[in-house]
Each structure stands twice: as C-alpha cells, then as structure tokens.
C-alpha cells in the first residue's frame, strides 16, 4: 500500500522481523521500519535505500497496534540499546518465537519443529548485571541508534538498580581518570559486589585510582582495573583491589574476572542451567566447546563420568579451573582452545554429548564438519542468533542429526536478541 503524505510513506506493518524492525512491502520491495509494531498503519520516512530493500523510521502512528505501549524509558528512540520497548512484553515473546520458527523453516529447511515453548525473563527491566557504558566528552551512556554519539543518561532501565546507582560515582571518577572511552561494570546480586574496568587512551597514576576506590565509590565496589587498547586488544595497565567477583546460581558458585564472560540476565541463571541439563542423558564423556567460566560445564558434570570444557579466553579458563575446585567437581577439566582446534585435536574420540554456545556468528563450517565426523549422540546447541542457528541446523541435519527439542529463553527483554536452547540427536 503506497500513499504519499507530506513526503512520508503510509505503510502497513505485517509483523516484526529479526533486528526489531516492522516488515512492510511497497510494490514488491521490502521496507524495514524502525519503531513499528505488528499489525499497524504508520507514516514513515525512508532513511536508507538499497537495491533490494529500504529502511524507514516511524514518524506518525495512523492506526495503532493492539500491542503498542508507551516506552517507559525517556531515552528510547534515541539510545541504541533497546529496540522493542514500545511493544508489550507478551508480544515481544510472541514475535521472537515466530522469528525463531520462521528462521528454522526458511533458512534451516525444518518441516516439523519440536518447539517446547518459551522461558520468559522474570523481570522485564533491571535484569542486566553486566553493562558497558560508553564515555564521550563527559557524557556517560550508550551510542545513539543512528550514529556513534553517546546519549548521556541518568539510568538504564535494563541495568540492575545497583549498577544505576553507580552512575553519579562514575561521573565523579571522570574528573580524575582522563580520556576514558568505556567503563565496564560487573555486579553480583547474590554477593552485592562489583568491579569496574576503565578503558582509557592515556595513563592515570595508580595512586589516583586507589583514592577513587576508597573515596568515591561505595564499599561494595571491590576492584577497579585500568586498561588501554593495543589495536583491537585490551591490555591491562594495573588494578586496585580485586579483579573478580563471585556469582551464586542455586548451589553453584562461580568466580568471574573482569575479562571473563558471564550470562547477563541474572533472573534466568537457574532456569538456563536447568533447561540445558534436561536435554542431557547420563553420559560417559562430554565436552563443552564454549565453556566460559564453566557456567554449564560444572553443573553438567553431575550427569556423567567426565566432561571437558574448552574456551579461547585464558581469563575464563583460569576462572573455570578455579570454579571446578570451588564446587568440588573432580571429573571436570578445562583447556584453552577454540572450538575448531579442540575438535580437530579430538578427532576420532568418542563423545556422548557435545555442548556448543557460539557467538552470534554461529559455528564455522569446519567446526560443523568435525562435529559430524565425531558423531556425538547428542549436541546441545545454545544460540543467540536465530539466522546463524538455522543455517547450522540445516548443515547438521544433512550430516545425520535431527532437531528433537527447541526452547526460546528470553535473556534480553526490550531488545531484538533471541536466545534458544536446542537438542540435536544422531539418527543414522
């Protein structure tokens, strides 16, 4: 449907697609519409023209969607951190489910999908315990959605309340620490402790950092690290206090260092582990190829004789080894390795189960080839991108695997990100 209204296009929005866009069509050409909701009529401005598609932004709601709501964040529509705050949480979940299933049908060529439902976040807001603030000309916040200009904020509705309470202290610290680009905050809700990581261009004297920890930040900030960039790598200059915090997930305890990854949505930690464990039968030997600090690896060790975790991040591997001892698990070992190098080195070994939790880019083709060659009975695939997941499922299906279970776990409410937990079983 096409009608010019004051240099705008009137668009009928069909549904949401990956990226958080509303999908519309004009004369056979696809239009991706920012800040649209499913089943509504909008006036939108074209902001990008490509040969096969256009990108537009809503300027006026003509007929509102039943799922549209007033976004609670005052920075929404400017800040690039969220894409779905204008849509009810119920519809966010529904749209994410549809995107996941459509990706598997269209890209993955899956005809019968064993979908087992969604695990919703227990909190729509204030669920993040890891945040990376951008700093620019004294402004603390996040980049705009349309350019690398920092939106100065008083609070982020996705961040845990205790992280938000640090923002005034962070502003005060910028009077001392010069040329800051980013500030990474890790917070433990179970231990009420946090560490901060300042990414700077220039060097700040360590004594000044020590004074900040004692005089500017509250006592539950247990450590500050100062890092600089060498190319794309962050290099530690020095630290004051601790470089790690401890997280408690049910009966499991984890040390998490500044340079190690941990799941951001603390309200789903226990559900996440439970959902993965439910897909694992008892095993003799298993591997976790993107193990991190052992978030899944260590609980998984209770279900089998032996499990090995691999991760390319040396900081995560050190934490994971510590965590195995901390939790009294003597049938777990960890090794520093990429998934590809691990599979290549273990080619021909028998695994009952292999767990993969790759980045958004998914698995490399060479990794999938080695998985198929090794033929573990079960592959648990934790995905954070439905399109690369669907692509990988298609290749694994051709290699003798069948998708037998799929759940959506909503680790990132208010954003377009879609996380899922799947089981693929060897059927040859």
Convert the pLDDT of each residue in 78-129 to its tens digit: 999 999 999 999 999 999 999 999 999 999 999 999 999 999 999 999 999 9
Residues 207, 272, single domain; the answer is no
Alpha helices per DSSP H over 61-205: 89-106, 161-164, 167-173
Residues 305, 400, single domain; the answer is yes
**Pairing between β-strand 193-200 and β-strand 180-188 as defined by DSSP bridges:** antiparallel
Q: What is the CATH number of the domain that holds 304?
A: 3.40.50.150
Q: How many Å apart are CA 326 and CA 242, to the nearest integer?
A: 18
The residue from 191, 213, 246 where one domain ends is 246
Residues 280, 369, single domain; the answer is yes
**Pairing between β-strand 40-49 and β-strand 29-34 as defined by DSSP bridges:** unpaired
State residue 428's pLDDT score: 65
Quick check: 276 pLDDT over 50? yes
Report CA Rg, the chain.
23
> Does a structural domain hold residue 333?
yes
Residues 278, 320, single domain; the answer is yes
pTM of the shown model: 0.95
Q: What is the CATH number of the domain that holds 220?
A: 2.40.50.1070
> Does a structural domain hold residue 49?
yes
pLDDT in tens, 143-171: 999 999 999 999 999 999 999 999 999 99
N- to C-terminal Cα distance for the chain? 49
**% of the chain at pLDDT higher than 90:** 89
> Does a structural domain hold residue 155?
yes
> Does a structural domain hold residue 73?
no
Residues 412, 337, single domain; the answer is yes
Residues 367, 272, single domain; the answer is yes
Residues 231, 272, single domain; the answer is no
> Does a structural domain hold residue 257?
no
Instruction: Output the six-digit token pair for 20.
Output: 């958080």
Residues 10, 152, single domain; the answer is no
Residues 6+ apart with CB under 8 A from 403: 104, 108, 110, 113, 114, 393, 397, 422, 423, 424
Instruction: Please state, in angstroms and as integers, the Cα–Cα distance from residue 422 to each residue in 228, 263, 419, following that order.
Output: 38, 18, 10
Residues 237, 214, single domain; the answer is yes
> Does a structural domain hold residue 10?
yes
> Does a structural domain hold residue 74?
no
CB 319 within 8 A of CB 265: no
CB 408 within 8 A of CB 97: yes
> Does a structural domain hold residue 80?
no
58-76: average pLDDT: 97
Q: Which domain holds residue 397?
A: 93-123+267-426
pLDDT in tens, 205-252: 888 888 889 899 999 999 999 888 877 778 888 889 999 999 999 999
The residue from 52, 68, 84 where one domain ends is 68
Catalytic site positions: 384
Quick check: 2 pLDDT over 60? no
Interhelix angle 89-106/386-398, rounded to 10 degrees, is: 30
Q: How many Å apart are CA 247 and CA 290, to the nearest integer?
A: 19
Residues 404, 328, single domain; the answer is yes
Residues 277, 404, single domain; the answer is yes
CB 385 within 8 A of CB 418: yes
Residues 301, 393, single domain; the answer is yes
Q: How many domains does the chain have?
A: 3
């Amino acid at each position: 449907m096409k009608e010019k209204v004051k240099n705008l296009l009137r668009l009928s929005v069909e549904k949401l697609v990956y990226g958080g866009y509303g999908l519309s069509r004009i004369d056979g050409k696809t239009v991706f519409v920012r800040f649209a909701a499913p089943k509504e009529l909008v006036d939108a401005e074209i902001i990008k023209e490509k040969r096969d598609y256009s990108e537009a932004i809503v300027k006026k709601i003509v007929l509102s969607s039943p799922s549209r709501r007033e976004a609670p964040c005052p920075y929404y529509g400017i800040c690039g951190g969220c894409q779905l705050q204008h849509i009810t949480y119920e519809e966010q979940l529904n749209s994410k489910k549809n995107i996941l299933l459509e990706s598997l049908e269209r890209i993955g060529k899956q005809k019968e999908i064993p979908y087992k439902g969604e695990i919703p976040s227990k909190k729509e807001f204030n669920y993040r315990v890891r945040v990376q603030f951008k700093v620019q000309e004294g402004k603390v916040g996040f980049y705009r959605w349309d350019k690398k200009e920092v939106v100065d904020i008083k609070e982020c509705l996705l961040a845990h309340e205790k992280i938000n309470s640090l923002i005034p202290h962070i502003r005060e610290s910028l009077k001392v620490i010069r040329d800051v680009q980013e500030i990474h905050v890790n917070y433990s809700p179970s231990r009420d402790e946090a560490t901060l990581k300042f990414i700077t261009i220039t060097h700040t004297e360590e004594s000044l950092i020590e004074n900040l920890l004692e005089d500017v930040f509250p006592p539950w900030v247990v450590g500050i690290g100062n890092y600089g960039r060498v190319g794309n790598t962050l290099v530690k200059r020095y630290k004051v206090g601790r470089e790690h915090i401890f997280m408690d997930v049910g009966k499991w305890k984890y040390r998490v260092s500044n340079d190690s990854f941990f799941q951001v949505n603390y309200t789903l930690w226990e559900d996440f582990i439970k959902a993965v464990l439910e897909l694992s039968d008892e095993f003799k030997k298993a591997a976790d190829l993107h193990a991190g600090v052992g978030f899944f690896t260590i609980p998984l060790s209770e279900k089998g004789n032996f499990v090995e975790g691999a991760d390319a991040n040396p900081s995560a591997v050190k934490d994971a080894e510590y965590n195995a001892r901390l939790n009294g698990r003597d049938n777990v070992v960890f090794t520093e390795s990429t998934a590809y190098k691990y599979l290549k080195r273990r080619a021909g070994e028998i695994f009952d189960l292999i767990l993969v939790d790759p980045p958004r880019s998914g698995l490399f083709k060479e990794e999938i080839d080695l998985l198929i060659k090794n033929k573990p009975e079960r592959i648990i695939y934790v995905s954070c991108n439905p399109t690369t997941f669907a692509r990988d499922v298609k290749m694994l299906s051709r290699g003798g695997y069948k998708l037998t279970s799929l759940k959506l776990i909503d680790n990132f409410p208010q954003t377009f990100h879609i996380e899922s937990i799947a089981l693929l079983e060897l059927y040859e």
